Chain A
């Protein structure tokens, strides 16, 4: 089955840019979604189809996907961005189609 690999943690100072990666075999040929989960809350979709933002998600959130790595980029990081972030793909070749990465804890210093 398809495997997505994320770094366990990323730290960034306020106002700087955070980049969270998601590795997978030829992930550039897949459509990648990203979810944000703040402590005690349900996940929220922040990026879909590699780089599209749902309504209500700040423009500071962007995504890219190429080769074996997809990246969630958060510009001008704020304290409120501190959360766990999960990448996700749909594996159409599997009867276990929904695949999540292990998650990355973003810490705002």
Chain B
């Protein structure tokens, strides 16, 4: 079964750090680009960051650039998001999602269940 399982969320004070992990199983992780998407309470989906299969291409949303770092370990079938200088507005459910792409379309075809990050003093 294709599966993504996030972990590492929790309560952190403003200015603090947190590292999210996403464990992949049931597919060849090293051949897929991966993404982090977040959803603030009661709000819509917001793309956060993307990383290509070999980590050669990395993108960030403006809202997190310079504070968050995406990485992956293909040997461990794992995706990570290092979150530094956290702000209250980073409070959200964080999902990891697999990217399925071809010449025509880019889609997120597998999603984890998410991990909750709360930034509060």
A residues at B contact (CB < 8 Å): 31, 33, 35, 37, 41-45, 48-49, 54, 84, 86, 88, 90, 95-103
Give the number of residue pairs across the A-B interface with Cβ within 8 Å. 63
Q: Name the distance in Å between B6's Cβ and chain A's nearest Cβ.
A: 10
- Report if A103-B108 is in contact (Cβ < 8 Å); known contacts: A43-B95, A98-B35: no
Residue of B nearest to A43 (CB): B111
Does B35 contact A49, Cβ atoms closer than 8 Å?
no
In the complex, residue of chain A having the shortest beta-carbon distance to the beta carbon of B102: A49
A43 to B114, CA, bound (A): 10
A-B contact pairs, 19 of them (CB 8 A): A31-B104, A35-B45, A35-B108, A37-B45, A42-B111, A42-B113, A43-B45, A43-B108, A45-B108, A49-B105, A86-B44, A86-B45, A90-B101, A96-B47, A97-B59, A98-B47, A98-B106, A100-B45, A100-B47
Q: What is the bound-complex CA distance between A102 and B59, given in angstroms?
A: 21
Please, how many angstroms separate the alpha-carbon atoms of A88 and B60 in the complex? 17
Q: Is A102 a contact of B44 with CB atoms below 8 Å? A: yes
Given contacts A42-B112, A42-B113, contact A96 B62 (CB under 8 A): yes
Which residues in B have their C-beta under 8 angstroms from that of A95? Answer: 59
